[in-house]
Amino acid sequence: SLAQVMRRLDGAITHERELQVALLNQSEQNFEQIFNQHPLPLWVHDPETGQVLAVNEAAIAMYGYSRDEFLTMHVGDITGGAPVTDSPAHRTSSGELVDVQCDIGPVTFRHGDALLVLTRDVTEQRRLQQRLEHNAMHDPLTGLANRVLLRERIHEAQERARIGDGYGFAVLVLDLDGFKMVNDTLGHSTGDRVLAITSARIARCIKRIDTPARLGGDEFGILLDLVKSEEDALRVAERIIGEIRRPINLHGRRINVSGCCGVAFVSDAGRLSEDLISDADMAMYAAKAQGPGITALFVPALRTALLNRIGMEQALTSALRNRELVVAYQPQLELRSGRVVAVEALVRWRHPDRGFIPPDEFVPLAEELGIIAAIDEWVLRTALQSLRRWSDAGHTTLRIGVNLSGQDLGRDDLAAAVRGALSDAGLDPWRLELELTETTAVAHPAVASRRLHELRGMGVRIAVDDFGTGFSMLSSLRDLPIDRLKIDRSFVKGLDRDDDARAIVGSTITMGHALGLDLCAEGVETLATAELLSAIGCDSGQGYLFARPMSERDLLRWLERFSMGGLQATAPTTLSIPMSVPGHPRPGEARSPRSARRPA
């Protein structure tokens, strides 16, 4: 009947429902088992209220809340009020923020709709990513920005300049002077410490919004933000130069560092950031051409100068190979006796297009290019071979002076190279006098002392050239094995008319003699100057009054004429200098030589 059919149908439906409930209960039991045992943190929350409905052991361990505490919380308590997917960090029970990555999806939980959240602690991954990003934009040695980040910051400054009326900024490029010698003589680890200390000093001189960067080697770039004028930028640059000039004390050593700085003040916001760095770089090279510790402002004319410099670099690099370098020789005379006691070897560059280029133009460039040591060794060998030939012609007591650079002092094999050159020429060491400038002698005194003592121990004489142009005093040179001081021409010129110069030269001669040193005056051009120098006790002189620099062959002819008729036979000017008996000091001039000297 219909009633029986309906009863059977109701029974079937009830059975189906009971089966579905049983299956659902089994499914939830399986879900909860998987949920609780899952190794990653999981929780379930109400999509409407955010109330946490369930949490697994991994989440309890990660967040530090107990299960009961979790079940009283809302999602916002963990995410700081933000939606789960918008919160990169979750707060733990200790208050610490943990970087997380979350996956979220719908789930049926206890017969209702819910959201299942899976979280992963990615704190270490994000820190690693941040370190990688930082390292990609920063110099690992100094922690400063690198060229990539500096370019980005300059680009950002340019964007601000386009929209900001009156907004200005400047780009600086700073290069250390003589840093290669620090690396060569004291080691790269000490050089790295010097760079790190210099970086910290630069940072102290600028604002927090500015960007200091290491461009590579000993070169730094700096973005000065919110700069009103060129004068303001130059003042900051000069402050930086002054700060890095302060001596650095490392491992008991006093290291002197200086630098030159180029400044590009931005007036054209549309230029590329690399162009601005290049402009400041050009200004820096212009500063270097004027000497250490100089600051220069970029002007458009420097671009032409840079092109010329690039051409000079290429030409100078090949000049030695192409035999364009030559050595000229200038004699030095003892003022009391009028004898020729020494000859100085002077390098000259005979450029195929420009003719002779003066040393003060190409020697600093050779130092920057790192080829000055090779040039110096070539000059040394060439000069000693010339002296060998003059000796064969009968001039057996003549000495020759050859210049040393700071890079030469950085050579561990300097003494061996000098010994080899002397041996090849068949000359005694006392015939060679190595000259280094006052600035080079005091820049790295410990290294200079070590190298010079090695050379002096061989019997080679040591002279300090251009004395008086640096910032040292004789007391700073007393620990060096020096035989002779050469007084710079700037003090000698006009000596007969300048009371101050005469006082300085006279004091230098007196103190030098007290230390057992010979004194040689450079730049002697007039008879009056020569007579005055002789009267105040100067031992020897060098300059156009006696002879101009000349070739090896011309000097031999000059020596032959001089030996026959004195200076009168070599030049139209006659010399009338008060003479004393050679080898005997004037009254009141008795002194004890610092070391045994071979008679000249």
State pLDDT tens for residues 211-255: 999 999 999 999 999 888 899 999 999 999 999 999 998 888 888
Per-residue pLDDT band at 588 (split at 50, 70, 90): very low
Higher pLDDT, 569 or 224: 224
User: Whats the size of the chain, residue-wise?
Assistant: 600
* pLDDT mean over 292-321: 86
Per-residue pLDDT band at 295 (split at 50, 70, 90): very high
Per-residue pLDDT band at 10 (split at 50, 70, 90): low
Q: What is the pLDDT of residue 586?
A: 35
Q: Are 501 and 533 in contact (CB under 8 A)?
A: no
For residue 568, pLDDT over 90 is answered with no
Residue that is written with structure tokens 């979220």 in the block: 104
For residue 498, pLDDT over 50 is answered with yes
Higher pLDDT, 143 or 112: 143
* pLDDT mean over 556-575: 71
Residue that is written with structure tokens 């290069």 in the block: 175
Q: What is the pLDDT of residues 257-279, one digit of tens each?
A: 899 999 999 866 666 566 889 99
Q: What is the pLDDT of residue 557?
A: 93
For residue 585, pLDDT over 80 is answered with no
Per-residue pLDDT band at 595 (split at 50, 70, 90): very low
φ and ψ of 267, to 5 deg: -115, -15
Q: Are 53 and 108 in contact (CB under 8 A)?
A: no
Alpha-carbon span 332 to 485, nearest angstrom: 13
Q: What is the pLDDT of residue 556?
A: 94
Q: Which of 27-41, 238-252, 293-307, 558-572 is the most confident on average? A: 238-252
Q: ∠313-316-321 over CA atoms, to 5°?
A: 140
For residue 578, pLDDT over 50 is answered with no
Q: What is the pLDDT of residues 154-176, one digit of tens each?
A: 989 888 887 766 778 999 999 99
Q: What is the pLDDT of residue 472?
A: 53
Q: What is the pLDDT of residue 369?
A: 84
Mean pLDDT for all residues in the chain: 84
Q: Which of 114-118, 230-234, 251-255, 361-365 is the most confident on average? A: 230-234
Higher pLDDT, 580 or 495: 495
For residue 9, pLDDT over 60 is answered with no
Q: What is the pLDDT of residues 405-445, one digit of tens each?
A: 888 988 889 999 999 999 999 999 999 999 998 778 777 77
**How far is residue 46 from each of residues 50, 54, 117, 229, 403, measured CA to CA in Å?**
5, 10, 11, 62, 87
Q: Which of 275, 240, 280 is nearest to 259 (CA)?
A: 240
Alpha-carbon span 502 to 193, nearest angstrom: 44
Q: What is the pLDDT of residues 470-494, one digit of tens each?
A: 545 566 677 789 999 999 888 898 7
Q: Are 481 and 459 in contact (CB under 8 A)?
A: no
